[in-house]
Amino acid sequence: MIVMDDQRADLLLDSGAHGFPAPNLKRLANKGTVFDNTFVTTPICTPARAEMLTGCHTFHNGVPWFRRPINGDLPLLPRHFQNNGYHTLFSGKWHNDGHPSERGFDRSRRVFPADNLNQPQYAKYGHTMRFTEAEASVEGHSTALFTETALEEIESAPDDKPWFCYLGYHSPNDPFDCPQPWASQFPADEVPLPEDYFPMPPFDNGDLTIRDELLLPWPRTQQAIREYRARYWQMIAHHDAVIGSLLDSLERSGELTDTVVVFTSDHGLAVGSHGLLGKENMYDHSCRIPLIMAGPGIPTGLQIKGLTTNQDIFPTLCDLCQIPQPATPMDGLSLLSAFTPDEPFTGREFVVCAFGSPHPLDPQSWRETQRAIRTQDWKLVVDLIHRRHQLYHLATDPLEMKNLLEPWLMKNDLRWSYQPEYPQSALKVIVASLWNILLGWQQANNDPAFPLLRPMKLPTDD
């Protein structure tokens, strides 16, 4: 199971439009099934990883923010596989409470950040990490070190047990430092701006002073965004090459034939889209993640458009590996039916995304700032702080550029012969339907923001 950090889905899954070369990940996709519309509930590292580990969303697993412990009543993916006879291995980024060695992994090596000797000076060393092994230290780029560890541990795994390996890369998280020759690829003046580039965010979502958004000054100049995206692309090109060598090694050893490979990420990243850099928002570029599955029982070259979530990985792996589902119910749904051609896989009717953060003036208090409900064709975003809600028709506006709830978009303007794309009466029906589904989901899932909401009042014509 390969888990990236901050990997946008569109650069891989929609790469035809972006022209981004990721030959090894494309090779993996061609050998398996791609889920085009997979989402996280909370697009920040710790909560998103807790969702994958538990198969439960944020409001059930108890992890809405950093340094929050996972609900101890929930079984974890590695422990469940360990209890069902698997030799479990971990290397890489562990951004949840405890240590992998305490959470169901028989072997855990080179754990970031807990075991990284360079961690106290992370700002200086970044992806150059150092770990103690056999009374000596080993230092190198995190992507290479974690891959090396995974291959060594797989090779030395017991022959009488199947193995489960969680390989958690820190790439392409900032700082965007990678080795040559990748660090010289993609000159900034050749990197296109995102189609949804803005120098400033279209509005204040309540989280514009968070760390990710302070990495570049506002307004985001075109040159600054090109340079930023160039370094991000370099990181992806590097880990694509390293993952290619990982797959080649497994193929040479004969392990790949009988191995289910999952490639995904904790969340996406704005990287200049909508004037943003980070992931603390409800846009698809941040909440949508890549999900590729390949191996025994998985069709090749299949693309699934139905809505899925990162919580679905846990129950799907149980079914693929023919081990029982945990006794404790999960929010995730097995995707096994997507692999059978009997009838088309439609996925979920909707997904819900959420973001809350500590108050900037009082870190002990909590602010629930954003909620979103997304269907295949529509997305409604509820702004809990400024009450500036958003509605996007994704079927015609996949980049979420036109908020249909902007007052000027809802009114006739005879001066410019402007006619609204949708009559206000139609928008009210759409919003009311999404709003009621969202409220029902929040109440059923103990969303702390539920009592904070008041009925939405749509703009009206004068």
Q: Which carries the bigger pLDDT value, residue 209 or residue 163?
A: 163
Which domain CATH number covers 298?
A: 3.40.720.10
Backbone φ/ψ region at 325: left (φ over 0), alpha (ψ -120 to 50), beta: beta
- Are residues 306 and 383 both part of a single domain? no
If one counts the domains in the chain, the total is 2
Q: How confident is the model at residue 280, as a pLDDT?
A: 93
- Can you give the residue range of the structural domain that contains 412? 361-452
Longest CA–CA separation in the chain, Å: 78
The chain-wide mean pLDDT, for the chain, equals: 92
Q: Is the pLDDT of residue 68 over 50?
A: yes
- Are residues 303 and 178 both part of a single domain? yes
The secondary structure of residue 291, as a DSSP letter, is E
Among the three residues 339, 371, 393, which one is the final residue of a domain in this structure? 339
Instruction: Supply the DSSP string of 123-178, one letter for each residue.
Output: HHHTTEEEEEETTEEEEEEHHHHHHHHHHHHHHTS-TTS-EEEEEE--TTSSS---
CA dihedral sign, ordered 111, 113, 119, 124: positive
Q: How confident is the model at residue 39, as a pLDDT?
A: 98
Q: Which carries the bigger pLDDT value, residue 76 or residue 346?
A: 76
Asked if residues 171 and 142 have their Cβ atoms less than 8 Å apart, the reply is: yes
Q: How confident is the model at residue 6, as a pLDDT?
A: 97
Can you tell me the mean pLDDT for 197-217? 90
- Are residues 382 and 311 both part of a single domain? no
**CA angle, 6 then 155 then 238, to 5°:** 30
Judge whether 347 lies within some domain. Answer: no
- Are residues 255 and 369 both part of a single domain? no
Per-residue pLDDT tens over the stretch 402-413: 999 987 777 776
Both tokens assigned to 434: 């999404």
Peptide bond just before 172 cis, omega within 30 deg: yes
Judge whether 312 lies within some domain. Answer: yes
Residue 342: pLDDT band with limits 50, 70, 90: confident
The tokens 């139609």 sit on which residue? 426
Judge whether 106 lies within some domain. Answer: yes
Q: Which carries the bigger pLDDT value, residue 22 or residue 291?
A: 291
Lowest-confidence segment of 114-123, 302-311, 330-339, 362-371 by average pLDDT: 362-371
- Are residues 324 and 426 both part of a single domain? no
Judge whether 414 lies within some domain. Answer: yes
Q: Is the pLDDT of residue 44 over 80?
A: yes
Judge whether 287 lies within some domain. Answer: yes
Can you tell me the mean pLDDT for 422-437? 90
- Are residues 277 and 371 both part of a single domain? no
- Are residues 318 and 389 both part of a single domain? no
User: In sequence order, what are the beta bridge partners of 288?
Assistant: 39
Judge whether 353 lies within some domain. Answer: no
The percentage of residues in the chain with a pLDDT greater than 70, rounded to a whole number, is 95
Per-residue pLDDT tens over the stretch 377-390: 999 999 888 888 99
Judge whether 367 lies within some domain. Answer: yes
CA dihedral sign, ordered 37, 349, 64, 455: positive
- Are residues 210 and 94 both part of a single domain? yes
Q: Between 142-155 and 222-253, two packed helices, what is the crossing angle to 10 degrees?
A: 20
| Phi, psi (degrees; rounded to nearest 5) at 82 | -60, -45
- Are residues 50 and 198 both part of a single domain? yes
Judge whether 112 lies within some domain. Answer: yes
The percentage of residues in the chain with a pLDDT greater than 90, rounded to a whole number, is 79
- Are residues 291 and 397 both part of a single domain? no
In Å, how far are 53, 94, 405, 459 from 50, measured between CA atoms?
A: 5, 10, 34, 38
Q: Which carries the bigger pLDDT value, residue 140 or residue 422?
A: 140
Which domain CATH number covers 416?
A: 3.30.1120.10
Can you tell me the mean pLDDT for 452-458? 67
The secondary structure of residue 413, as a DSSP letter, is B
First to last CA, the chain: 55
Among the three residues 281, 308, 339, which one is the final residue of a domain in this structure? 339
pTM of the predicted model as reported, rounded to 2 decimal places: 0.95
Residues in contact with 152: Cβ distance below 8 Å, sequence separation at least 6, in sequence order: none
Instruction: Supply the DSSP string of 347-411, one letter for each residue.
Output: BBS-EEEEEEEEETTEEEEEEEEEEEEE-SSEEEEEETTT---EEEETTT-TT----TTSHHHHS
Can you tell me the mean pLDDT for 98-103? 96
Q: How confident is the model at residue 457, as a pLDDT?
A: 65
Q: How confident is the model at residue 409, as a pLDDT?
A: 73
- Are residues 427 and 319 both part of a single domain? no
Q: Is the pLDDT of residue 273 over 70?
A: yes
- Are residues 187 and 256 both part of a single domain? yes
Cα–Cα distance measured from residue 7 to residue 9, given in angstroms and rounded to the nearest whole number? 6
